[in-house]
């Protein structure tokens, strides 16, 4: 079963998205979080070494999917992957999915035992999923 890492500029946002994702996964998926720049959660920003720690915490051979909020979160996540040994980097994937919807979908499908690429595909489909009933 794959692991997930939630990356956000805000520690509180990362914790909140983690909370939602954990409920969707029903406790069956390892979900890490890397939010903010400081341990007290007060400084906004993203840090590659914090992301690296989160990846290592949930690491498994099936792979790790990273979900980021935006902007430098993506660059920091890329940096974190570069800091990983090659054999682990191969099994990590940066998702293009929106953070909240992507984390919810990814957690649910990861808990169903789906492989890394498949989980990312359904999470990224959230990019084109409207919220309002009128549009479906």
Partner 1 sequence: MSNISHSSFLDENPAQVEPPLQPSKSVVVTVSDPRGLHLRSGRDVVRIASRFQARITAANLSRNTNAVDLKSILQLMQLQARQGHSLHLAASGPDADAAIEALCSLF
Which spans of this chain sit near partner 1 (rule: CB under 8 A)? 20, 23-24, 26, 101, 104-105, 108, 111-112, 122, 125-126, 129-133, 135-136
Q: Measure the CA–CA gap between 11 and 118, rounded to whole angstroms.
A: 28
**Residues 24/33, Cβ–Cβ less than 8 Å:** no
Q: Measure the CA–CA gap between 84 and 43, rounded to whole angstroms.
A: 25
| Shorter beta-carbon distance to partner 1: residue 75 or 125 | 125
Active site residue 109: no
| Shorter beta-carbon distance to partner 1: residue 39 or 132 | 132
Q: How far is the CB of 16 from partner 1 (least distance, A)?
A: 13
| Shorter beta-carbon distance to partner 1: residue 23 or 49 | 23
Q: Measure the CA–CA gap between 38 and 36, rounded to whole angstroms.
A: 6
């Amino acid at each position: 079963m794959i692991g997930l890492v939630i990356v956000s500029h805000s520690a509180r946002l990362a914790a909140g998205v983690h909370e939602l994702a954990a409920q969707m996964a029903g406790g069956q998926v390892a979900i890490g979080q890397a939010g903010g720049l400081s341990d007290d959660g007060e400084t906004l920003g993203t840090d590659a070494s914090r992301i690296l720690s989160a990846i290592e915490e949930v690491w498994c051979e099936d792979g790790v999917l990273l979900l980021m909020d935006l902007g430098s979160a993506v660059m920091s996540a890329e940096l974190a992957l570069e800091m990983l040994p090659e054999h682990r980097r191969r099994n990590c994937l940066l998702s293009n999915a929106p953070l909240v919807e992507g984390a919810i979908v990814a957690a649910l499908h990861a808990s169903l035992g789906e492989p890394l690429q498949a989980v990312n595909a359904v999470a990224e489909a959230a990019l084109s999923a409207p919220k309002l009933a009128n549009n479906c």
